[in-house]
Amino acid sequence: MNKLAVAILTALAAASAVAASDGRDDLTEEDRARVAKVTAPTRDFSAPESFETLPAGAGTTRKMINADIFSHPSANLTFEGRQEFLVGNGLFRKDWVSSPSSTQASDGLGPLFNARSCQACHTKDGRGTVPGFDPLERSDTVALLLRLSVPATTDEQRQQLASGHLPFVPEPVYGVQLQNFSVAGLPSEGSLEIEYEPVTVQLNGGETATLMKPTYRIENLGYGPMRKDVQISPRIAQPMIGLGLLEAIHPADILANAAADHGDGISGRPNWTRDRRTGERVLGRFNWKASQPTVEQQSAAAFSNDMGLSTPLFPSHYGECTKAQSACFDMPHGAQPHLGEHEVPAELMDFVTTYSVNLAVPQRRDVDDARVLAGKKLFYEANCVACHVPKYVTRRDAAREEHRFQLIWPYTDMLLHDMGEGLADQVSEDEASGSEWRTPPLWGIGLTRTVNPNATWLHDGRARSLLEAVLWHGGEAQAARDRVVAMTPEERADLIRFLESL
């Protein structure tokens, strides 16, 4: 093993030891020793590690691999939990309709919206689908959302940004997100158009790869012009598996990743965001810029922004309508007094949250295959593990019993990293800059197209293959990306085999 790989493993081991010894207030001394041992990075790539086939610990699903593999409940969920999971599944899949409607428990959609159901974006609980790379075969934009923001222009806005009460300044007419659908009698906000420019990358060994560089524009604006300095950020829907386990990672483990020296100028940092339930500034964990602290809040934000439905955390019945869109507030909403004051009452939100935190991660495949093991070694030697940290033990005092004290293998540090100008969108969100993105978990990535044959990768779905996704890495990941470019064709194939086994 080369000197760089040794330094990488040393840094990972140090981060694991610091988290276990200093920050894990949920562990006994005996627990700390066990956790430090099992989370220490491997130095042996001749055979699989213990429990590597169970990326979600006891919650790992062993169901048959097919298009529904991301839709099973955690294997260690109780009978009562499974019943709640099934109710949540129904709510996650159901189509909402506009008001008034004879189906009073399902109305309230809009007035402006991107999708009629959660499942419309998270295809079979996996990745969303971009409209398409061929201009002649484009579909409507549903799973690819467009975040909108503008620079702060007033002292009040700057103070709100500094205090964390405002993650970014919304576009004054169109708000935080472009809604390309609307209820009858109301214009939609506009449509997203994409053009792709092929970019050729030369690889060692005489190979080439073609990347698709996107350019975005907004057309058919329904409420007048946007501010000329509007900043836009396309975001594709992410996989739903393992979210509860990510929420159960102890903050000390995440902060230890930020404190470690991983080499290559890598300096991941946390995003601190506002918890709408407590009002406190807390560690962000979810969405592309780690600006949501919990699965519940992420889900409630999606109900509000994507479907225009009110919840206890986002109580407006008019979703993302702005003051400039006065006709929105003349539309009927779906809150029913006998069902509660919100269109998605607290009880239904609890069911959706239970479902969302307990979608199981599938069992690993081919862990003892020689080529997969070779690819794993290359993954470590290229320093991919500096950001895609392989494993954790979840906290003993996690909110849900099924998530407690589990050895998990998500391959993420849960931190923000500057990924370079090639992936930058210039939209800041809480403490995340326009070029920073949260390291996405890699578990289940090899089954992406088993679940959704049209799925692609990266925050806006521009990467049509795992290799393309790697080649788009820049900024802090530039050195690791360049090592992949310098690999032989056989080595790159082994690296992809390893990723496909996750």
What are the phi and psi torsion angles at 148 (to 5°)?
-125, 140
Whether the predicted pLDDT of 395 surpasses 90: yes
pLDDT value, residue 432: 96
pLDDT value, residue 16: 56
pLDDT value, residue 114: 95
Contact 279, 267 (CB under 8 A): no
pLDDT value, residue 5: 59
In the 8-state DSSP scheme, what is residue 187? -
Q: How far apart (Å, rounded) are the C-alpha atoms in residues 196 and 501?
A: 30
Whether the predicted pLDDT of 161 surpasses 80: yes
Q: How confident is the prediction for the chain on average, in pLDDT?
A: 94
What are the phi and psi torsion angles at 273 (to 5°)?
-135, 175
Q: How confident is the model at residue 468 (pLDDT cuts 50, 70, 90)?
A: very high
Q: How far apart (Å, rounded) are the C-alpha atoms in residues 57 and 452?
A: 25
Q: How far apart (Å, rounded) are the C-alpha atoms in residues 74 and 404?
A: 13
pLDDT value, residue 327: 95
Mean pLDDT of 139-157: 88
Whether the predicted pLDDT of 124 surpasses 80: yes
Q: What is the pLDDT of residues 401-453, one digit of tens each?
A: 999 999 999 999 999 999 999 999 989 999 999 999 999 999 999 999 999 99
pLDDT value, residue 25: 96
Whether the predicted pLDDT of 20 surpasses 60: no
pLDDT value, residue 141: 60
Q: How confident is the model at residue 64 (pLDDT cuts 50, 70, 90)?
A: very high
Residue 350: how many other CB atoms lie within 10 Å: 14
Q: Is 11 helix (H, G, I), strand (E, B) or coil?
A: helix
Residue of 403, 358, 356, 413 lying closest to 383 (CA atoms): 413
Structure tokens at 464: 């049509």
Crossing angle of helices 346-357 and 295-307, rounded to 10°: 120
pLDDT value, residue 8: 62
Structure tokens at 138: 């484009």
pLDDT value, residue 2: 64
% the chain with pLDDT above 90: 89
What are the phi and psi torsion angles at 282 (to 5°)?
-135, 175
Q: How confident is the model at residue 43 (pLDDT cuts 50, 70, 90)?
A: very high
Domain ranges of the chain: 29-501
Q: Is the pTM of this model over 0.85?
A: yes
Q: Which residues contact 275 (CB under 8 A, 6 or more apart)?
A: 281, 282, 293, 294, 297
pLDDT value, residue 132: 79
Whether the predicted pLDDT of 55 surpasses 90: yes
Q: What is the pLDDT of residues 327-368, one digit of tens each?
A: 999 999 999 888 889 999 999 999 999 999 999 999 999 999
Q: How far apart (Å, rounded) are the C-alpha atoms in residues 355 and 91?
A: 9
Structure tokens at 255: 């902060």
Whether the predicted pLDDT of 252 surpasses 70: yes
Whether the predicted pLDDT of 13 surpasses 90: no
Whether the predicted pLDDT of 4 surpasses 70: no
Please tell me the chain's helix, strand, coil percentages from 3-state DSSP, rounded to the nearest 5.
35, 15, 50
Least confident window among 426-430, 467-471, 481-485: 426-430
Whether the predicted pLDDT of 140 surpasses 90: no
Structure tokens at 230: 């509007």
β-strand partners of 201: 209
Mean pLDDT of 21-43: 93
Exposure class string for 371-405: b at 16+ Cβ within 10 A, else e: bbbbbbbbbbbbbbbbbbbbbbbbbbebebebbbb
Q: What is the pLDDT of residues 254-311, one digit of tens each?
A: 999 999 999 999 999 999 999 999 999 999 999 999 999 999 999 999 999 999 999 9
